[in-house]
Amino acid sequence: MDQVNVLVLAPVRDSDLKAIAAVDPRVVVVDGRGKFEPEYRETWSAEIARRYLGAADTQSGKEERDALLRQADVVCIGFPFPTKLVSRAPRLKWIHQTPAGASNLRYSDVWGSSVLVTTSRGYGNSTAHAEWVLATMLMFIKELPRALMDKQMGTFEGRPYRPRLLAGKTVGVVGLGGIGREVARLSKAVGMRVVATRRSATVRTKGAEGVDELFPPSELHQLLAASDFVVVCTQSTPETEKLIGRSELTAMKSTSYLINLARGEIIDEAALVEALRQGTIAGAALDVHESEFQGPPNPELIGLPNVIFTPHVSGGSDVPTHRGIELFCQNLGRFLSGQELLNVVDWQRGY
Protein backbone atom coordinates (compact mmCIF):
# COMPACT_ATOMS: atom_id res chain seq x y z
CA MET A 1 0.00 0.00 0.00
CA ASP A 2 1.28 3.46 -0.96
CA GLN A 3 0.79 6.73 0.90
CA VAL A 4 -2.38 6.84 3.02
CA ASN A 5 -4.01 10.20 3.70
CA VAL A 6 -5.64 10.21 7.15
CA LEU A 7 -8.00 13.15 7.62
CA VAL A 8 -8.60 13.88 11.31
CA LEU A 9 -11.82 15.77 12.05
CA ALA A 10 -12.24 14.63 15.67
CA PRO A 11 -11.24 17.23 18.30
CA VAL A 12 -8.18 15.31 19.47
CA ARG A 13 -4.93 16.55 21.02
CA ASP A 14 -1.80 17.46 19.08
CA SER A 15 -0.09 14.49 20.71
CA ASP A 16 -2.77 12.24 19.20
CA LEU A 17 -1.93 13.53 15.71
CA LYS A 18 1.70 12.67 16.33
CA ALA A 19 0.77 9.19 17.53
CA ILE A 20 -1.24 8.59 14.35
CA ALA A 21 1.61 9.78 12.15
CA ALA A 22 4.04 7.51 14.01
CA VAL A 23 2.10 4.35 13.13
CA ASP A 24 3.77 3.98 9.72
CA PRO A 25 5.91 6.12 7.38
CA ARG A 26 3.21 5.80 4.71
CA VAL A 27 0.71 7.69 6.87
CA VAL A 28 0.14 11.36 6.04
CA VAL A 29 -1.96 13.06 8.71
CA VAL A 30 -4.18 15.89 7.50
CA ASP A 31 -5.36 18.12 10.34
CA GLY A 32 -8.99 19.03 9.66
CA ARG A 33 -9.89 19.95 13.24
CA GLY A 34 -12.23 22.92 13.37
CA LYS A 35 -12.46 23.34 9.62
CA PHE A 36 -15.94 21.81 9.35
CA GLU A 37 -17.59 23.79 12.17
CA PRO A 38 -19.42 26.17 9.80
CA GLU A 39 -20.89 23.15 8.05
CA TYR A 40 -21.89 21.54 11.35
CA ARG A 41 -23.79 24.66 12.33
CA GLU A 42 -25.74 24.51 9.08
CA THR A 43 -26.51 20.77 9.09
CA TRP A 44 -26.94 19.86 12.76
CA SER A 45 -29.39 21.32 15.28
CA ALA A 46 -28.83 24.50 17.26
CA GLU A 47 -28.72 22.36 20.41
CA ILE A 48 -25.78 20.34 19.08
CA ALA A 49 -23.98 23.53 18.05
CA ARG A 50 -24.50 24.99 21.52
CA ARG A 51 -23.24 21.91 23.31
CA TYR A 52 -20.39 20.70 21.12
CA LEU A 53 -19.00 23.56 19.05
CA GLY A 54 -16.73 26.42 20.00
CA ALA A 55 -17.85 30.03 20.14
CA ALA A 56 -15.76 31.11 17.15
CA ASP A 57 -16.24 29.79 13.63
CA THR A 58 -13.34 29.05 11.36
CA GLN A 59 -13.26 30.70 7.96
CA SER A 60 -12.86 27.54 5.91
CA GLY A 61 -15.14 27.34 2.89
CA LYS A 62 -16.99 24.46 1.27
CA GLU A 63 -14.39 24.16 -1.51
CA GLU A 64 -11.61 23.63 1.01
CA ARG A 65 -13.67 21.10 2.96
CA ASP A 66 -14.62 19.19 -0.20
CA ALA A 67 -10.96 19.10 -1.26
CA LEU A 68 -9.95 17.61 2.09
CA LEU A 69 -12.55 14.86 1.76
CA ARG A 70 -11.67 14.12 -1.89
CA GLN A 71 -8.08 13.29 -0.91
CA ALA A 72 -8.92 11.25 2.18
CA ASP A 73 -8.31 7.50 2.32
CA VAL A 74 -9.20 7.31 6.02
CA VAL A 75 -11.23 9.75 8.14
CA CYS A 76 -11.29 9.95 11.93
CA ILE A 77 -14.46 11.68 13.12
CA GLY A 78 -15.90 12.78 16.45
CA PHE A 79 -19.31 14.30 17.03
CA PRO A 80 -20.72 16.16 15.22
CA PHE A 81 -19.33 15.19 11.81
CA PRO A 82 -20.17 15.85 8.13
CA THR A 83 -23.58 14.36 7.36
CA LYS A 84 -22.60 14.18 3.68
CA LEU A 85 -19.26 12.43 4.01
CA VAL A 86 -19.13 9.24 1.94
CA SER A 87 -20.58 10.94 -1.15
CA ARG A 88 -17.80 13.56 -1.08
CA ALA A 89 -14.88 11.18 -0.49
CA PRO A 90 -14.32 8.95 -3.55
CA ARG A 91 -11.07 7.48 -2.17
CA LEU A 92 -12.50 6.73 1.28
CA LYS A 93 -11.94 3.20 2.54
CA TRP A 94 -12.43 3.46 6.30
CA ILE A 95 -14.01 5.78 8.88
CA HIS A 96 -13.23 5.63 12.58
CA GLN A 97 -15.53 7.32 15.08
CA THR A 98 -14.06 8.29 18.47
CA PRO A 99 -17.45 8.04 20.27
CA ALA A 100 -18.49 4.55 21.37
CA GLY A 101 -22.08 4.53 20.13
CA ALA A 102 -22.96 4.14 16.46
CA SER A 103 -26.50 5.53 16.55
CA ASN A 104 -25.37 9.07 15.60
CA LEU A 105 -24.25 7.70 12.22
CA ARG A 106 -27.89 7.15 11.26
CA TYR A 107 -28.19 10.87 10.55
CA SER A 108 -25.65 10.70 7.71
CA ASP A 109 -24.78 8.94 4.47
CA VAL A 110 -22.28 6.85 6.43
CA TRP A 111 -25.01 4.55 7.75
CA GLY A 112 -25.32 1.39 5.70
CA SER A 113 -22.65 2.48 3.21
CA SER A 114 -20.02 0.16 1.77
CA VAL A 115 -17.25 2.05 3.57
CA LEU A 116 -15.72 0.23 6.53
CA VAL A 117 -16.66 1.93 9.83
CA THR A 118 -15.26 1.35 13.31
CA THR A 119 -16.20 2.92 16.65
CA SER A 120 -14.47 3.25 20.02
CA ARG A 121 -16.93 0.90 21.73
CA GLY A 122 -15.30 -0.40 24.90
CA TYR A 123 -12.49 2.18 24.74
CA GLY A 124 -14.33 5.19 26.22
CA ASN A 125 -14.41 6.67 29.72
CA SER A 126 -15.97 3.54 31.22
CA THR A 127 -14.67 4.11 34.74
CA ALA A 128 -16.01 7.67 34.82
CA HIS A 129 -19.40 6.42 33.62
CA ALA A 130 -19.42 3.65 36.24
CA GLU A 131 -18.45 6.05 39.04
CA TRP A 132 -21.38 8.29 38.05
CA VAL A 133 -23.67 5.26 38.39
CA LEU A 134 -22.23 4.42 41.79
CA ALA A 135 -22.62 8.05 42.89
CA THR A 136 -26.31 8.13 41.94
CA MET A 137 -26.96 4.83 43.72
CA LEU A 138 -25.35 6.21 46.88
CA MET A 139 -27.29 9.47 46.59
CA PHE A 140 -30.57 7.59 46.51
CA ILE A 141 -29.85 5.01 49.19
CA LYS A 142 -28.39 7.59 51.60
CA GLU A 143 -31.23 10.06 50.80
CA LEU A 144 -28.92 12.87 49.74
CA PRO A 145 -31.54 14.47 47.42
CA ARG A 146 -33.65 14.98 50.57
CA ALA A 147 -30.67 16.65 52.23
CA LEU A 148 -30.28 19.07 49.32
CA MET A 149 -33.99 19.97 49.43
CA ASP A 150 -33.86 20.41 53.22
CA LYS A 151 -30.90 22.75 52.85
CA GLN A 152 -32.77 24.86 50.30
CA MET A 153 -35.81 25.02 52.59
CA GLY A 154 -33.73 25.74 55.68
CA THR A 155 -34.95 22.67 57.60
CA PHE A 156 -32.79 20.37 59.72
CA GLU A 157 -34.65 17.31 60.95
CA GLY A 158 -33.26 13.78 60.93
CA ARG A 159 -36.35 11.71 61.74
CA PRO A 160 -37.72 11.49 58.14
CA TYR A 161 -34.45 10.02 56.85
CA ARG A 162 -34.26 6.29 56.15
CA PRO A 163 -30.69 5.64 54.94
CA ARG A 164 -29.98 2.08 53.83
CA LEU A 165 -26.94 -0.06 53.10
CA LEU A 166 -25.78 -0.40 49.50
CA ALA A 167 -23.86 -3.60 50.23
CA GLY A 168 -26.05 -6.63 49.66
CA LYS A 169 -28.40 -4.89 47.23
CA THR A 170 -28.81 -6.17 43.65
CA VAL A 171 -27.93 -4.11 40.59
CA GLY A 172 -29.23 -5.19 37.20
CA VAL A 173 -27.07 -4.12 34.25
CA VAL A 174 -28.97 -3.96 30.97
CA GLY A 175 -26.24 -4.38 28.36
CA LEU A 176 -22.99 -5.91 29.61
CA GLY A 177 -20.62 -4.06 27.27
CA GLY A 178 -17.63 -1.90 28.14
CA ILE A 179 -19.51 0.45 30.48
CA GLY A 180 -21.71 -2.32 31.83
CA ARG A 181 -18.71 -4.44 32.82
CA GLU A 182 -17.17 -1.49 34.67
CA VAL A 183 -20.47 -0.81 36.45
CA ALA A 184 -20.46 -4.47 37.46
CA ARG A 185 -16.87 -4.30 38.73
CA LEU A 186 -17.42 -1.22 40.91
CA SER A 187 -20.75 -2.51 42.19
CA LYS A 188 -19.20 -5.80 43.29
CA ALA A 189 -16.38 -3.83 44.96
CA VAL A 190 -18.92 -2.27 47.36
CA GLY A 191 -20.54 -5.62 48.10
CA MET A 192 -23.46 -5.60 45.68
CA ARG A 193 -24.90 -8.57 43.84
CA VAL A 194 -24.73 -8.05 40.06
CA VAL A 195 -27.03 -9.51 37.44
CA ALA A 196 -26.90 -8.51 33.79
CA THR A 197 -28.24 -9.03 30.29
CA ARG A 198 -26.09 -9.45 27.23
CA ARG A 199 -27.31 -9.60 23.64
CA SER A 200 -25.26 -12.71 22.86
CA ALA A 201 -26.50 -14.66 25.90
CA THR A 202 -28.96 -17.43 25.01
CA VAL A 203 -29.51 -19.07 28.40
CA ARG A 204 -29.22 -17.90 31.99
CA THR A 205 -25.84 -18.72 33.54
CA LYS A 206 -24.28 -18.10 36.95
CA GLY A 207 -20.82 -16.68 37.50
CA ALA A 208 -20.29 -15.72 33.84
CA GLU A 209 -18.43 -12.62 32.58
CA GLY A 210 -17.75 -11.19 36.02
CA VAL A 211 -21.38 -11.06 37.21
CA ASP A 212 -23.33 -13.25 39.61
CA GLU A 213 -25.94 -14.14 37.01
CA LEU A 214 -26.14 -13.45 33.27
CA PHE A 215 -29.60 -13.29 31.68
CA PRO A 216 -30.53 -13.58 28.01
CA PRO A 217 -32.45 -10.55 26.64
CA SER A 218 -35.64 -12.64 26.62
CA GLU A 219 -35.53 -12.70 30.45
CA LEU A 220 -35.31 -8.94 30.92
CA HIS A 221 -38.44 -8.88 33.11
CA GLN A 222 -36.92 -11.44 35.48
CA LEU A 223 -33.80 -9.28 35.83
CA LEU A 224 -35.92 -6.18 36.47
CA ALA A 225 -37.92 -7.95 39.19
CA ALA A 226 -34.73 -9.08 40.96
CA SER A 227 -32.97 -5.68 40.94
CA ASP A 228 -32.86 -2.84 43.45
CA PHE A 229 -31.12 -0.68 40.84
CA VAL A 230 -31.49 -1.08 37.08
CA VAL A 231 -28.69 0.47 35.02
CA VAL A 232 -29.26 0.94 31.27
CA CYS A 233 -25.96 0.59 29.38
CA THR A 234 -27.11 -0.97 26.11
CA GLN A 235 -26.48 0.40 22.63
CA SER A 236 -29.23 2.44 20.99
CA THR A 237 -30.65 0.48 18.05
CA PRO A 238 -34.12 0.03 16.56
CA GLU A 239 -34.27 -3.16 18.62
CA THR A 240 -33.69 -1.29 21.92
CA GLU A 241 -35.91 1.75 21.24
CA LYS A 242 -38.32 2.05 24.19
CA LEU A 243 -36.89 -1.18 25.55
CA ILE A 244 -37.93 0.01 29.01
CA GLY A 245 -41.64 0.76 28.76
CA ARG A 246 -44.73 0.53 30.94
CA SER A 247 -44.64 -3.27 31.36
CA GLU A 248 -40.91 -3.24 32.18
CA LEU A 249 -41.35 -0.48 34.77
CA THR A 250 -44.24 -2.42 36.30
CA ALA A 251 -41.97 -5.47 36.54
CA MET A 252 -39.54 -3.51 38.74
CA LYS A 253 -39.82 -3.31 42.53
CA SER A 254 -41.62 -0.26 43.93
CA THR A 255 -38.48 0.40 45.97
CA SER A 256 -36.10 0.20 42.99
CA TYR A 257 -34.37 2.89 40.94
CA LEU A 258 -33.80 3.23 37.19
CA ILE A 259 -30.47 4.65 36.00
CA ASN A 260 -29.85 5.54 32.34
CA LEU A 261 -26.55 6.71 30.88
CA ALA A 262 -26.97 5.15 27.41
CA ARG A 263 -29.53 6.96 25.20
CA GLY A 264 -32.84 8.57 26.11
CA GLU A 265 -34.73 6.73 23.38
CA ILE A 266 -34.19 3.40 25.16
CA ILE A 267 -36.75 4.43 27.79
CA ASP A 268 -40.39 5.35 27.15
CA GLU A 269 -40.32 8.69 28.95
CA ALA A 270 -44.10 9.08 29.13
CA ALA A 271 -44.31 5.72 30.89
CA LEU A 272 -41.40 6.72 33.14
CA VAL A 273 -43.12 9.96 34.24
CA GLU A 274 -46.24 7.96 35.06
CA ALA A 275 -44.26 5.33 37.01
CA LEU A 276 -42.40 7.96 39.03
CA ARG A 277 -45.58 9.87 39.87
CA GLN A 278 -47.54 6.76 40.85
CA GLY A 279 -44.73 5.19 42.89
CA THR A 280 -44.35 2.21 40.56
CA ILE A 281 -40.60 2.74 41.06
CA ALA A 282 -38.85 4.85 43.70
CA GLY A 283 -36.77 7.12 41.48
CA ALA A 284 -34.58 7.60 38.43
CA ALA A 285 -31.13 8.98 37.62
CA LEU A 286 -30.77 10.16 34.04
CA ASP A 287 -27.74 11.45 32.15
CA VAL A 288 -29.61 11.38 28.83
CA HIS A 289 -33.11 12.14 27.55
CA GLU A 290 -35.22 11.66 24.45
CA SER A 291 -34.29 13.86 21.49
CA GLU A 292 -31.49 15.43 23.51
CA PHE A 293 -29.76 16.67 20.36
CA GLN A 294 -32.86 18.66 19.42
CA GLY A 295 -33.64 20.38 22.71
CA PRO A 296 -33.90 20.31 26.53
CA PRO A 297 -35.46 17.50 28.56
CA ASN A 298 -39.18 17.03 29.18
CA PRO A 299 -40.05 19.56 31.93
CA GLU A 300 -42.47 17.05 33.47
CA LEU A 301 -39.61 14.62 33.97
CA ILE A 302 -36.92 17.02 35.11
CA GLY A 303 -39.30 18.63 37.61
CA LEU A 304 -40.02 15.45 39.58
CA PRO A 305 -38.43 15.37 43.06
CA ASN A 306 -37.42 11.70 42.76
CA VAL A 307 -35.31 12.29 39.64
CA ILE A 308 -31.58 13.08 39.44
CA PHE A 309 -30.80 14.70 36.08
CA THR A 310 -27.39 15.53 34.58
CA PRO A 311 -26.67 16.92 31.07
CA HIS A 312 -24.82 13.95 29.51
CA VAL A 313 -21.73 14.42 31.68
CA SER A 314 -21.35 10.93 33.19
CA GLY A 315 -18.20 10.34 31.12
CA GLY A 316 -16.50 13.51 32.33
CA SER A 317 -13.24 13.20 34.24
CA ASP A 318 -10.19 15.15 35.36
CA VAL A 319 -8.06 12.25 34.07
CA PRO A 320 -8.13 11.47 30.31
CA THR A 321 -8.97 7.78 30.04
CA HIS A 322 -10.62 7.70 26.60
CA ARG A 323 -8.63 5.27 24.42
CA GLY A 324 -10.37 5.85 21.09
CA ILE A 325 -7.21 7.11 19.40
CA GLU A 326 -5.25 4.21 20.85
CA LEU A 327 -7.71 1.87 19.14
CA PHE A 328 -7.53 3.93 15.95
CA CYS A 329 -3.74 3.65 15.85
CA GLN A 330 -3.93 -0.08 16.47
CA ASN A 331 -6.49 -0.44 13.69
CA LEU A 332 -4.45 1.79 11.37
CA GLY A 333 -1.55 -0.65 11.64
CA ARG A 334 -3.92 -3.52 10.90
CA PHE A 335 -5.42 -1.60 7.96
CA LEU A 336 -1.99 -1.01 6.42
CA SER A 337 -1.06 -4.67 6.75
CA GLY A 338 -4.36 -5.96 5.39
CA GLN A 339 -5.61 -7.42 8.68
CA GLU A 340 -9.20 -7.43 9.94
CA LEU A 341 -10.08 -4.31 11.95
CA LEU A 342 -11.44 -4.26 15.52
CA ASN A 343 -14.87 -2.84 16.41
CA VAL A 344 -16.27 -2.84 12.86
CA VAL A 345 -19.89 -1.65 12.84
CA ASP A 346 -22.39 -4.32 11.85
CA TRP A 347 -25.21 -2.43 10.09
CA GLN A 348 -27.70 -5.22 10.74
CA ARG A 349 -26.92 -5.34 14.45
CA GLY A 350 -26.76 -1.55 14.70
CA TYR A 351 -23.35 -1.14 16.39
Q: What is the DSSP string of 75-112?
A: EEE-SS--SS-GGG-TT--EEEESSS--GGGGGSTTTT
Q: Which of 51, 146, 199, 312 is catalytic?
A: 312
Q: Of 82, 17, 81, 108, whose CA–CA distance to 6 is shortest?
A: 17
- What spatial distance separates the first Cα and last Cα of the chain, rounded to whole Å? 29
> Looking at the predicted structure, is the pLDDT value of residue 66 above 70?
yes
> 72 with 92: CB under 8 angstroms?
yes
For residues 239-253, average pLDDT: 97
* CATH annotation of 126-309: 3.40.50.720
pLDDT digits (tens, 9 = 90+) for 298-350: 999 999 999 999 999 999 999 878 899 999 999 999 999 999 999 999 999 98
Tell me what pLDDT residue 75 has.
Answer: 98
Q: Among 3.30.750.24, 1.10.8.60, 3.30.70.250, 3.40.50.720, what is the CATH number of 4-123+322-336? A: 3.40.50.720
263 is catalytic: yes
List the chain domain ranges.
4-123+322-336, 126-309
- Give the count of beta carbons closer than 10 Å to the beta carbon of residue 310: 15
Q: How far apart are CA 129 and CA 317, in angstroms?
A: 9
158-162, 191-195, 269-273 — which is least confidently predicted? 158-162
Upstream peptide bond of 80 is cis (omega within 30 degrees of 0): yes
pLDDT digits (tens, 9 = 90+) for 146-187: 888 888 889 888 889 999 999 999 999 999 999 999 999 999
Q: How many Cα neighbours within 13 Å face the side chain of 291?
A: 9
Tell me what pLDDT residue 320 has.
Answer: 78
> 336 with 26: CB under 8 angstroms?
yes
- Give the count of beta carbons closer than 10 Å to the beta carbon of residue 42: 10
The pTM is what? 0.91
241 is catalytic: no
Buried b (16+ CB within 10 A) or exposed e, 162-182: eeeebeebbbbbbbbbbbbbb
349 is catalytic: no
> Looking at the predicted structure, is the pLDDT value of residue 219 above 70?
yes
Q: Which of 263, 269, 289, 290 is catalytic?
A: 263
| 3-class DSSP string for 10-62 | CCCCHHHHHHHHCCCCCEEEEECCCCCHHHHHHHCCHHHHHHHCCCCCCCCCH
Amino acid identity for residue 348 in this structure: Q
> 70 with 90: CB under 8 angstroms?
yes
